[in-house]
């Protein structure tokens, strides 16, 4: 990290603190909302799903806003909104207020993610962006490795404390943003003055972006919420105690693999070879999924998880870097906002997998996910080839 400018270092550190802020509350959110509103777990899941779905759609407009206004101020606004939302959540006793609060916090998180990518792209030469995206993802996993443990420990003292502390971390992270300058005077170009409708038309007409986003959505069904469908599968095929043991080992394997290897592998990604890297990542997903379907011991589960994680390590920065190659300078935020729609795949994943587990033999779920990964990888490869032909 020392090789980057002060602006990039502060942004990366801020990204880590925001992830820690979210991760502290992640293992407690469903239980906290359930206790506050008296809802069962199915209703809580529906509530969270609705909040994520609406926030993902709003992030499309958020990308457009990022292109039109000063990014530093918008990042600060996102962090402040997240802090206020987390505090309000501790007082929420009404279903509608809780839903609105969750939408605010989820939208703020998406806006910060899109804005931070745009700032990284603006402040780094092309050759350093893949390494920066990989480093950002490494820090994200460090945050999710540490945050949930802190949240559980803090909740032992006072149930609402993790949410208040998370809000405090998000708020005080704002002061790190003082090291990030505003947009340069020449930034507001004519292209940024176009309306949101015209921007949507531009995005709609970019067939390469649409094909790639569809491929990413299918891929996200596989890797976006993999902890959900793995736990669903284990609960169907074994007892809760065995499920907890396996899941703890898999989460540790995933986190350590990403932390140790993400930056090392990510620095080898080249823009000219992205479609081939994505195919390699997709192949690793498929091998990992088949490994899950055959796993019969803790070691075999962890080996399959390691292979699956290698695919995740490749796919994450490759997707962002590919969008970076497609996006016109004046529409970078809008393109990242459009690609963020792929996050809907993560919301669909538990629904699809739950249906398959109820109506088919349990291992069928992994073969269906393998098929989705293959189709998603094919769409991404075709879009990469299409982009390469356009450039030539």
Q: Of 51, 49, 37, nearest to 99 (Cα)?
A: 51
**Segment 250-257 mean pLDDT:** 85
Location of structure tokens 């490869």: 381
Q: Which uninterrupted H or E stretch holds 50?
A: helix 41-68
Cα–Cα distances (Å) from 215 to 209, 279, 346, in that order, read 10, 11, 13
> Please, is 308 exposed, middle or buried when counting C-beta atoms within 10 Å of its C-beta (0-12, 13-18, 19+)?
buried
Please report, rounded to a whole number, the percentage of residues in the chain having pLDDT higher than 70.
93
Vertex 368 angle, CA 376 and 362, to 5°: 150
CA 93 – CA 95 distance, rounded (Å)? 7
**Segment 257-270 mean pLDDT:** 82
Q: Which two tokens stand for residue 389?
A: 């032909």
Poorest-pLDDT segment among 3-7, 341-345, 353-357 = 3-7
The pTM (predicted TM-score) of the whole model is: 0.79
* Domains contained in the chain, CATH given: 1-188 (1.20.1250.20), 193-392 (1.20.1250.20)
Predicted local confidence at residue 187, as pLDDT: 46
Q: Of 71, 269, 227, 59, nearest to 141 (Cα)?
A: 227
Max mean pLDDT among 31-40, 138-147, 183-192, 207-216 falls in 207-216
Name, in order, each residue with C-beta under 8 angstroms of 164's C-beta and a sequence gap of 6 or more. 86, 87, 90
Q: Is the pLDDT of residue 391 over 70?
A: no
**Segment 38-67 mean pLDDT:** 81
**Segment 326-339 mean pLDDT:** 85
Q: Is the pLDDT of residue 193 over 60?
A: no
What confidence tens digit (pLDDT) does each residue in 224-243 have? 878 778 888 888 888 878 88
In 10 A of CB 35, how many CB atoms?
12
Secondary structure letter of residue 224 according to DSSP: T
Poorest-pLDDT segment among 168-177, 192-201, 356-365 = 192-201
DSSP per position, 349-391 = HHHHHHHHHHHS-TTHHHHHHHHHHHHHHHHHHHHHHHHHHHH
Secondary structure letter of residue 70 according to DSSP: -
Q: Which two tokens stand for residue 73?
A: 């101020």
Taking a C-beta distance cutoff of 8 angstroms, is the pair 346, 229 a contact? no
Mean of pLDDT over the chain: 84
In 10 A of CB 42, how many CB atoms?
8
Name, in order, each residue with C-beta under 8 angstroms of 286's C-beta and a sequence gap of 6 or more. 370, 373, 374
Q: Is the pLDDT of residue 266 over 90?
A: no
Q: Is the pLDDT of residue 182 over 80?
A: no
State the chain's maximal CA–CA distance in angstroms: 61
Predicted local confidence at residue 49, as pLDDT: 76
Q: Is the pLDDT of residue 186 over 50?
A: no
Which band of pLDDT confidence, cut at 50, 70 and 90, is reported for residue 191? Answer: very low
Secondary structure letter of residue 184 according to DSSP: -
Q: Is the pLDDT of residue 68 over 80?
A: yes
């Amino acid at each position: 990290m020392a090789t980057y400018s002060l602006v990039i270092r502060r942004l990366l550190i801020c990204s880590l603190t925001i992830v820690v802020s979210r991760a502290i509350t992640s293992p407690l959110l469903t239980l906290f909302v359930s206790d506050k509103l008296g809802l069962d777990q199915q209703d809580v899941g529906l509530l969270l799903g609705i909040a994520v779905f609406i926030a993902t759609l709003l992030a499309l407009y958020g990308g457009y806003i990022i292109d039109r206004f000063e990014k530093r101020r918008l990042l600060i606004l996102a962090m402040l909104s997240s802090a206020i939302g987390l505090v309000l959540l501790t007082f929420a006793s009404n279903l509608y207020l809780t839903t609105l609060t969750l939408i605010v916090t989820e939208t703020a998180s998406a806006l910060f993610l899109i804005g931070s990518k745009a700032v990284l792209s603006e402040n780094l030469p092309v050759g350093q962006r893949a390494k920066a995206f990989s480093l950002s993802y490494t820090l994200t996993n460090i945050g999710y490795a540490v945050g949930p443990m802190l949240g559980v420990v803090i909740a032992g003292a006072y149930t609402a404390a993790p949410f208040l502390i998370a809000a405090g971390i998000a708020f005080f992270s704002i002061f790190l943003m003082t090291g990030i300058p505003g947009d340069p005077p020449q930034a507001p170009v004519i292209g940024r003055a176009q309306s949101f409708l015209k921007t949507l038309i531009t995005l709609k007409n970019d067939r390469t972006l649409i094909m790639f986003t569809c491929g990413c959505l299918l891929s996200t069904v596989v890797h976006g919420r993999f902890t959900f469908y793995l736990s669903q599968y284990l609960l169907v095929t074994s007892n809760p105690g065995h499920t907890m043991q396996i899941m703890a080992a898999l989460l540790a394997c995933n986190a350590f693999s990403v932390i140790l290897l993400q930056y090392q592998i990510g620095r080898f990604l080249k823009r000219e070879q992205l479609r081939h890297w994505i195919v390699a990542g997709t192949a690793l997903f498929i091998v990992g999924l088949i490994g899950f379907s055959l796993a019969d011991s803790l070691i075999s589960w962890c080996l399959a998880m390691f292979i699956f994680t290698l695919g995740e390590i490749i796919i994450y920065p490759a997707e962002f870097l590919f969008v970076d190659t497609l996006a016109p300078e004046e529409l970078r935020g809008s393109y990242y906002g459009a690609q963020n729609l792929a996050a809907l795949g993560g919301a669909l994943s538990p629904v699809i997998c739950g249906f398959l587990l109820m109506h088919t033999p349990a291992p069928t779920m992994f073969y269906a996910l393998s098929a989705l990964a293959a189709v998603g990888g094919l769409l991404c490869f075709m879009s990469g080839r299409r982009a390469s032909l356009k450039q030539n």
